[in-house]
């Protein structure tokens, strides 16, 4: 092929179009899926691949965040492909308002100022000299589930329905240490948290939350934050809507009233039927979703199988998940695969004997406050079809007699 002029021309163009591997990886996935890989029938007959600097995924299991969905500036965790409770860092959902900034950590600092005794600037090295903590928390975009609430469609996947929620281990410093260091005034009740992206995304946060369980984190799942998750540092407000967990955090200004930024006025408020709107509705309420089986699974055989999924609440640990296989007529308690952690996802499991008929699988979570996940009808009655955020209604899957599985959103 090397002597064929056309092929060399193609290689030349390829070389120009794809100057290096990293930029190729950041491109959108191709519209045409690659051909399926062909593995040897007997892998023991072939010497395997050598060791590598990083262990890549199997081509049979390549997974993606579907960045080409209709929501500009977001990509969704492929929940139907995941097991256990950890979301791999590169598959954590992303949502940003002016792209992912490219930041040199040596040029980045966090300014703490306003109603403080002494304004301070913290480099990443400075932060890492404080006592650190490691905690597992979910983050969920408050717009998660909007499309499936407004117009549920049978072909929706778990990723499409609820993929703006992810669960990882975070390491960082409790924010109250920084507040004490800067001497934040007791009169300060609100704080503006601002990111270093080009829209300067900023949210007003009650100081009580910052003194409670808020963190400034620099690591996720053991490694430094990835750029799409706020590298080199982000605000972590356990259990609160994703947008308030400001990424690329560069400034905390303390004051006595909210700033009324455009991300808490034109966005991230919840329009109600009576023409008013909920504002500063930070808490993410209890929610769950069955991820297996789910669309586009096809049940090939009858018999026992686990129904598994994820549940979480921004108000405390999940205390109960119930599963129904008859569209809510009967509910059964599911087991937890791990001990539920406050403000983290937990995987549930219910063993089900499919005897070949039609079935509708639902899950319903309860948290430590006693709150029970509502139906879509109940949510509609309170907030109306036009509400824009905080969709935590019960959803599920319709299993056909032929084994095909479709989304069921009209609960």
Site for a copy of itself in 121-140 (CB under 8 A): 125, 128-134
Instruction: Decide if residue 324 touches a copy of itself (CB under 8 A).
Output: no
121 φ/ψ angles, rounded to the nearest 5 degrees: -120, 125
Hey, which residues between 59 and 118 contact a copy of itself (CB under 8 A)?
59-61, 63-67, 73-75, 81-92, 94, 96, 98-105, 107
**Tally of CB atoms within 10 A around 358:** 11
Write down the least CB distance from residue 296 to a copy of itself, Å. Answer: 15
244 φ/ψ angles, rounded to the nearest 5 degrees: -75, -15
**DSSP-based three-state secondary structure for 81:** helix
Contacts of 286 (CB under 8 A, 6+ apart): 311, 312, 313, 315, 318, 365, 366, 367, 371, 372, 373, 392
Hey, which residues between 248 and 287 contact a copy of itself (CB under 8 A)?
248
Q: Which is nearer to a copy of itself, 128 or 319 (CB)?
A: 128
* CA–CA dist 360, 399 (Å, integer): 6
Binding mask 15-44 for a copy of itself (x = CB under 8 A): xx-xxxxx-xxxxxx-------xxxxx-xx
Kindly tell me which residue out of 179, 184, 191, 196 binds a copy of itself, with binding defined by CB under 8 A.
Answer: 196
Write down the least CB distance from residue 256 to a copy of itself, Å. Answer: 26
Among 98, 103, 138, smallest CA distance to 250 is for 103
Residues 367 and 286 sit within 8 Å (Cβ to Cβ): yes
Write down the least CB distance from residue 347 to a copy of itself, Å. Answer: 6
Instruction: Decide if residue 50 touches a copy of itself (CB under 8 A).
Output: yes
Q: Which is nearer to a copy of itself, 60 or 357 (CB)?
A: 60
Kindly tell me which residue out of 178, 202, 228, 334 binds a copy of itself, with binding defined by CB under 8 A.
Answer: 228
Write down the least CB distance from residue 58 to a copy of itself, Å. Answer: 5
**Cα angle 258-264-266, degrees, rounded to a multiple of 5:** 135
Q: Which is nearer to a copy of itself, 278 or 305 (CB)?
A: 305
Write down the least CB distance from residue 60 to a copy of itself, Å. Answer: 6
* CA–CA dist 261, 402 (Å, integer): 52
* CA–CA dist 411, 404 (Å, integer): 20
**Polymer length of the chain:** 411
Kindly tell me which residue out of 119, 154, 183, 222 binds a copy of itself, with binding defined by CB under 8 A.
Answer: 222
Instruction: Decide if residue 308 touches a copy of itself (CB under 8 A).
Output: yes
Kindly tell me which residue out of 3, 6, 32, 56 binds a copy of itself, with binding defined by CB under 8 A.
Answer: 56
Q: Which is nearer to a copy of itself, 238 or 374 (CB)?
A: 238
Write down the least CB distance from residue 272 to a copy of itself, Å. Answer: 30
Q: Which is nearer to a copy of itself, 226 or 278 (CB)?
A: 226
Instruction: Decide if residue 338 touches a copy of itself (CB under 8 A).
Output: yes
* Count of residues of this chain found to bind a copy of itself when the rule CB under 8 A is applied: 114
**Tally of CB atoms within 10 A around 157:** 21
Taken in order 91, 96, 98, 103, is the CA torsion positive or negative?
A: negative
Residues 383 and 270 sit within 8 Å (Cβ to Cβ): yes
Hey, which residues between 352 and 411 contact a copy of itself (CB under 8 A)?
none
**DSSP-based three-state secondary structure for 300:** coil
Kindly tell me which residue out of 122, 138, 190, 231 binds a copy of itself, with binding defined by CB under 8 A.
Answer: 231
Residues 287 and 311 sit within 8 Å (Cβ to Cβ): yes
């Amino acid at each position: 092929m090397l002597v064929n002029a056309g092929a060399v021309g193609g290689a030349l163009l390829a070389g120009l179009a794809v100057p290096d591997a990293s930029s190729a990886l950041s491109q959108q996935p191709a519209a045409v899926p690659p051909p399926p890989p062909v593995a040897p029938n007997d892998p023991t007959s072939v010497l395997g691949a050598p060791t590598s600097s990083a262990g890549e995924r199997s081509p049979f299991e390549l997974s993606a965040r579907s960045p080409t969905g209709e929501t500009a500036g977001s990509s969704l965790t492929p929940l139907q492909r995941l097991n256990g409770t950890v979301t791999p860092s590169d598959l954590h959902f992303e949502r940003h308002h002016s792209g992912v900034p490219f930041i040199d950590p040596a040029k980045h600092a966090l300014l703490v100022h306003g109603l403080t005794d002494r304004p301070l600037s913290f480099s990443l090295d400075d932060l890492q000299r404080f006592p650190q903590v490691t905690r597992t928390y979910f983050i969920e975009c408050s717009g998660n589930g909007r499309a499936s609430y407004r117009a549920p469609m049978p072909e929706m996947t778990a990723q499409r329905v609820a993929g703006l929620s992810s669960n990882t281990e975070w390491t960082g410093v409790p924010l109250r240490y920084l507040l004490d260091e800067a001497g934040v005034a007791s009169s300060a009740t609100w704080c503006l948290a601002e990111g270093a992206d080009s829209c300067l995304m900023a949210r007003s946060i009650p100081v009580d939350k910052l003194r409670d369980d808020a963190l400034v984190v620099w690591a996720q799942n053991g490694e430094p934050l990835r750029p799409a998750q706020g590298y080199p540092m982000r605000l972590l407000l356990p259990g609160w809507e994703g947008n308030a967990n400001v990424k690329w955090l560069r400034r905390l200004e303390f004051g006595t009233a909210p700033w009324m930024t455009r991300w808490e006025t034109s966005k991230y408020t919840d329009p109600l039927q009576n023409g008013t709107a909920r504002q500063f509705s930070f808490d993410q309420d209890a929610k769950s979703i069955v991820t297996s089986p789910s669309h586009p699974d096809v049940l090939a055989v009858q018999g026992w199988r686990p129904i598994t999924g994820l549940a979480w609440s921004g108000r405390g640990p999940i205390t109960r998940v119930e599963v129904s296989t008859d569209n809510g007529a009967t509910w059964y308690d599911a087991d937890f695969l791990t001990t539920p952690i406050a403000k983290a996802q937990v995987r549930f499991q219910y063993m089900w004997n499919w005897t070949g008929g039609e079935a509708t699988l639902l899950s319903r979570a309860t948290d430590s406050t006693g709150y029970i996940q509502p139906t879509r009808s109940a949510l509609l009655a309170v907030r109306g079809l036009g509400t824009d955020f905080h969709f935590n209604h019960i959803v599920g899957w319709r299993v056909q007699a032929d084994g095909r599985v479709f989304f069921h959103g009209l609960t």
